[in-house]
Amino acid sequence: MQHIFREYDIRGVFGEDLTEERVKLIGYFLGKKIKEKGDYAVVSYDARVHSPTLSDWLVSGLNAAEVIVLHAGMVPTPVNYFCNFNSFKVGAKVVTPAGGIQITGSHNPPEYNGFKITIDKAPFYGEAIYALGKEVEANSAMAIPDETESIAIDALGRYVDYLADAFGGLKGFDPQMAIDCGNGAAGVAVEPLLERLEIPAQKLYCEPDGTFPNHHPDPSEEENLEDLKKAMEKGRHYGFAFDGDGDRIAFLSRNHNFKGDILALFFAKAMAAEGKKPTVIGEVKCSQVMYDEINKTGKAIMHKTGHSNLKVLLKETGADLAAEVSGHIFFNDRYFGYDDAIYAMMRILEMLKNGFDFDAEFEKLPKTYSTDEIKVPTTDAKKFAIVDALKKILQSRREALGIRDIVTIDGVRVIFDEGWGLVRASNTTPILVTRFEAQSPEALERIRKVMNGLIEEAKEEVG
């Protein structure tokens, strides 16, 4: 069962990995940890058909741990995060939650579900999740009774009110846009927010449906953007798409699909135009262009992949912004420092209203050629050993291969004169993740060929 306890969250197949007994125990032992910080926890869920059932099991476990559950119902994940930074009236009291648990399978297939967890305003991840898994397994014979009592809160209404107030200057703005919520949970927040601000949009698949009948809710895959692109061909200038739980965004013009790292660069440019010297945290998969351009007016920091890693460093450094290529955007500037695709959309709309030309700014950037993530199958037992073997090979041939730098923050990012290659072990699946970027197609192919050859050598060495 330990495979469901992953680096950044808990995730598995409903009914197989996520059973009633196991989920109740997860709720109980999580509840014990939350109880160390306070009495209240917020529970909410995404659009998946089994999320309400998981909610009942989880709440039973939390109640057994004597945690008082504030239930927000179906909301995007950022609304659950939002609750941790706000207070709610419970009877005569005003309380701030000590933790939050969002039941979500994110962008995974419909049979998957899981839990994203916050305790004391910080992500619960890594070793803490692994230890929780061992605790659950060690107490597998423990029986938790059904007890689904909770206190309903209007977290969604509070969230929409907050964003409507924060972006009141956008009222009546018409950017000629389309939005695709992918039948995920984002629609329950996006629709009322746009209506409040009288921002027109062509809306695709905003009705929550956990079977995802139109397309898979992962906007980082081009095939899932086809309907949005068709809507834009019929007169829309811009398009926004959200993943299943609303914490990742895709933003498109008619000419470009702006990935998370390029969006981070543009957000930094907008901050710099206001007289700030922005500090931006990126992950090891981000384009070198992002780092180089941000360093001209501010400071760019390279860090490990993973939304939990970035949130923690954002808090530690007080940086303005963090981003992943996949579309997780974390605003500490004017916001709470967690990944929120709906908030990111509003910041983009604000920039459009202020005259920021995304296409023109993109075309000014140094031209590079890059691959998407390329997955190399291996095993959980070997993946980290292969990366370690690769690091040794690279160090021994650094001069012969013309390597300028080797970055080992997360896996290994090898920087050559004409580009770079990344190899890292996935924290959640038995694969190596590679990505390559260069100044020309020919250089891209050279770097890719060299790195793939070295990966094969490392695999042979590990056996």
Would you name the residues annotated as active-site residues? 11, 106, 328
Q: Which amino acid is at 267?
A: F
Residue 151, CA atoms < 13 Å, CB-side half-sphere: 16
- Say if CB 387 and CB 412 are below 8 A apart: yes
174-198 in b/e burial notation, b at 16+ Cβ within 10 A?
A: ebebbbbbbbbbbbbbbbbbbebbe
Q: Which two tokens stand for residue 385?
A: 């050993």
Q: Which two tokens stand for residue 417?
A: 């004169």
CA 253-319-419 angle, to 5 degrees, is: 60
Query: How many CB atoms neighbour CB 280 within 10 A?
Result: 27
Rounded Cα distance, 270 and 274, in Å: 7
State the pairing for strand pair 40-45/99-103. parallel
Nearest to 322, CA basis, from 346, 314, 363, 398: 314
Query: How many CB atoms neighbour CB 245 within 10 A?
Result: 29
Nearest to 55, CA basis, from 96, 87, 86, 27: 27
